[in-house]
């Protein structure tokens, strides 16, 4: 009985913590908030607000037609049926322009990011920061020395205004607007996100970070990110996201395109911690040219439903792709995550390591594709997906697809599903470790191969979040 009480207290503490740390909401003091629903008029209004060139306006309207003509996907998760596109605000403007100093950011919005610890993180260990509040970026800064070397780190709206020639060449070449229904939606109403350009040979040693915050109920956030790494360059981009908890849904549908030119390396890290009323339906895809490397480190903790499969097209010889994915599905959550690697050139290599943890009736799914095209001889790939179930009510599914069109390749696939075993717990407890601590240790050990790839500050945060989710899970 005493144990049960403690667990209940701990469970209550978890919710209190999300509310306090991330779940708070600000009063709405907006310059513009679109009425709910999507039509041609809203799309034109967004484009007009941003004073965009005609080609982008036409791109948006064509994408809207694609979105409206495509059926809602029925594969993946039954929760997709809950997405109500008519009950979403597609554009909310909180600030006049993106500030380059925190002093330029409206007071209430700045307070939000202060509470989330963003300015502090910027001072300590980042090369640049972008902070998006609702539809638009309210703060953007990059270190001067990087700017001098030609590194561009802008919000996408400013990027389009100031570097239209580059953007026009690359925008939507990795993910066309008609790629899927959600990509079409993003293409029609995109706003915010990051534009990163790293010149040839430049190494951005400390990460660039973007932080995405939804405040309004029934909000749709549709940021658009494009990263171009010129030959021999390196960049690490980190994104995080949170929202207040509301009883009705919000929608987050980003499109992220990465282009790694010959010999370049891009690492893209996500720590997704949306509140559990957010549908997180994101398209992320990268192209890696000769000798280039692209790494996706994708951690999904929050949201009601996440459907996200970062992919890498290895189009140049000896290109390397890496996908490290952690998904944590708690009560009422479905994390449908995984990754896709396409070997389209000889001697390309890849790894996919996916770990999912399900508890309190949550559902974790791994959905992956490994494709080796005809002619991609000498390709090597290893796919490992492991699932950990913490109780009998939770669920894990694995949907791996492997297509191999070449003989001379080396492909490995391993999958495991396990429970936190009584023998493992007994072993640790026999060394004097309390049961809940022992359980956390086992989970942390399970995800350690991935968290060790995170920058230290994020690894610490990730472990803390996992521990929070874990509390009260034994019983």
Span near other proteins by CB under 8 A; candidates 172-180, 247-255, 351-359, 459-467: 172-180
How many Cβ atoms from other residues are within 10 Å of residue 378's Cβ?
16
Query: Quick one: which of 185, 315, 372, 447 contacts other proteins (CB under 8 A)?
Result: 315
- Nearer residue to other proteins within complex by CB, 135 or 283: 283
Asked whether the CA dihedral 193, 294, 385, 78 is positive or negative, the reply is: positive
Q: Measuring CA to CA, how many Å separate 333 from each of 72, 194, 330, 362, 467?
A: 20, 28, 5, 5, 17
Measured distance CA(279)–CA(393) in Å, rounded: 22
Is 55 strand, coil or helix? helix
Rule CB under 8 A: say whether 220 interacts with other proteins: no
Chain positions 95 to 124 lying near other proteins, rule: CB under 8 A, are none
Token pair 């490995």 is at which residue?
412
Span near other proteins by CB under 8 A; candidates 19-27, 146-154, 175-183, 269-277: 175-183
- Nearer residue to other proteins within complex by CB, 210 or 314: 314
Query: Quick one: which of 153, 234, 313, 353 contacts other proteins (CB under 8 A)?
Result: 313
Site pattern 346..385 for other proteins (x: CB under 8 A): ---------------------------x------------
- Nearer residue to other proteins within complex by CB, 135 or 180: 180
Query: Quick one: which of 38, 80, 109, 175 contacts other proteins (CB under 8 A)?
Result: 175
Query: Quick one: which of 344, 352, 383, 390 contacts other proteins (CB under 8 A)?
Result: 344
Site pattern 28..67 for other proteins (x: CB under 8 A): --------------------------------------x-
73 Cβ neighbours under 8 A, 6+ residues apart: 80, 180, 181
173 Cβ neighbours under 8 A, 6+ residues apart: 257, 259
* Smallest gap from residue 147 Cβ to other proteins (A): 30
Phi (first) and psi of residue 284, to 5 degrees: -130, 130
Phi (first) and psi of residue 231, to 5 degrees: -50, 135
Side-chain half-sphere CA neighbours of 193 within 13 A: 27
Span near other proteins by CB under 8 A; candidates 82-90, 169-177, 193-201, 446-454: 169-177
Measured distance CA(160)–CA(176) in Å, rounded: 17
Site pattern 273..312 for other proteins (x: CB under 8 A): ------------x-x-------------------------
DSSP per position, 313-361 = EE-STT-EEEEEEEEEE-TT-EEEEEEEEEE-STT-EEEEEEEEEE-TT
Query: Quick one: which of 323, 342, 379, 466 contacts other proteins (CB under 8 A)?
Result: 342
Decide if 194 contacts 11 (C-beta within 8 A): no
* Smallest gap from residue 232 Cβ to other proteins (A): 23
Measured distance CA(105)–CA(272) in Å, rounded: 24
Measured distance CA(445)–CA(426) in Å, rounded: 16
* Smallest gap from residue 310 Cβ to other proteins (A): 14
Chain positions 177 to 206 lying near other proteins, rule: CB under 8 A, are 177-180
- Nearer residue to other proteins within complex by CB, 175 or 438: 175
Give first-to-last CA distance, the chain, whole Å.
11
Decide if 260 contacts 293 (C-beta within 8 A): yes
Decide if 435 contacts 474 (C-beta within 8 A): yes
Nearest to 285 by CA among 306, 315, 264, 263: 315
How many residues touch other proteins (CB under 8 A)?
Answer: 17
* Smallest gap from residue 389 Cβ to other proteins (A): 34
Rule CB under 8 A: say whether 470 interacts with other proteins: no
* Smallest gap from residue 130 Cβ to other proteins (A): 25
Residue 306, Ramachandran bin (φ over 0: left; ψ between -120 and 50: alpha; else beta): beta
- Nearer residue to other proteins within complex by CB, 238 or 286: 286
Q: Measuring CA to CA, how many Å separate 17 from each of 13, 22, 146, 231, 302?
A: 6, 8, 37, 44, 14
Span near other proteins by CB under 8 A; candidates 83-91, 176-184, 418-426, 444-452: 176-184
Rule CB under 8 A: say whether 176 interacts with other proteins: yes
Tokens linked to 187:
């293409």
- Nearer residue to other proteins within complex by CB, 69 or 416: 69
* Smallest gap from residue 205 Cβ to other proteins (A): 30
* Smallest gap from residue 343 Cβ to other proteins (A): 10
Footprint of other proteins (CB under 8 A): 66, 172-180, 285, 287, 313, 315, 342, 344, 373
């Amino acid at each position: 009985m005493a144990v049960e009480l403690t667990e209940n207290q701990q469970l209550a503490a978890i919710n209190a913590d999300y509310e306090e740390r991330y779940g708070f909401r600000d009063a709405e003091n907006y310059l513009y908030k679109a009425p709910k629903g999507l039509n041609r008029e809203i799309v034109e209004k967004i484009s007009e607000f941003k004073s965009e060139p005609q080609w982008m306006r036409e791109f948006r309207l064509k994408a809207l037609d694609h979105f409206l003509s495509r059926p809602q996907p029925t594969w993946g998760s039954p929760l997709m049926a809950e997405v109500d596109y008519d009950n979403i605000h597609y554009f909310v403007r909180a600030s006049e322009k993106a500030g380059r100093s925190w002093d330029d950011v409206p007071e209430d919005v700045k307070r939000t990011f202060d509470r989330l610890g963003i300015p502090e993180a910027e001072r300590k260990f980042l090369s640049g920061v972008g902070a998006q509040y609702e539809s638009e970026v309210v703060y953007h800064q990059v270190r001067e020395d990087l700017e001098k070397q030609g590194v561009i780190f802008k919000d996408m709206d400013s990027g389009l205004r100031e570097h239209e020639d580059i953007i026009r060449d690359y925008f939507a070449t990795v993910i066309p607007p008609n790629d899927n229904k959600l990509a079409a939606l993003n293409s029609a109403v995109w706003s915010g996100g990051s534009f990163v350009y790293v010149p040839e040979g430049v190494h951005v040693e400390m990460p660039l970070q973007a932080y995405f915050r939804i405040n309004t109920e029934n909000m749709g956030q549709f940021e658009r990110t494009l990263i171009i790494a010129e030959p021999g360059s390196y960049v690490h981009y980190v994104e995080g996201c949170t929202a207040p908890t509301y009883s009705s849904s919000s929608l987050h549908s980003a499109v992220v395109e990465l282009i790694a030119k010959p010999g370049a390396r891009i690492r893209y890290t996500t720590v997704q911690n949306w509140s559990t009323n957010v549908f997180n339906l994101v398209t992320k895809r990268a192209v890696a040219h000769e000798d280039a490397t692209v790494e996706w480190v994708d951690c999904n903790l929050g949201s009601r439903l996440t459907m996200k499969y970062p992919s890498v097209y290895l189009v140049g010889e000896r290109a390397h792709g890496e996908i490290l994915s952690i998904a944590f599905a708690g009560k009422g959550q479905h994390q449908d995550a995984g990754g896709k690697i396409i070997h389209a050139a000889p001697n390309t290599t890849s790894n996919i390591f996916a770990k999912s943890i399900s508890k309190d009736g949550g559902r974790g799914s791994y959905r992956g594709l490994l494709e080796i095209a005809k002619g991609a001889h000498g390709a090597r790939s290893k796919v490992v997906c492991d699932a950990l179930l913490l109780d009998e009510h939770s669920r894990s599914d694995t949907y791996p697809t492997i297509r191999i069109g070449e003989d001379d390749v080396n492909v490995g696939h391993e999958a495991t599903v396990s429970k936190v075993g009584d023998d493992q717990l007994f072993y640790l407890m026999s060394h004097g470790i309390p049961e809940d601590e022992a359980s956390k240790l086992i989970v942390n050990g399970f995800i350690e191969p991935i968290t060790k790839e995170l920058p230290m500050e994020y690894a610490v945060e990730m472990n803390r979040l996992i521990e929070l989710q874990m509390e009260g899970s034994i019983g």
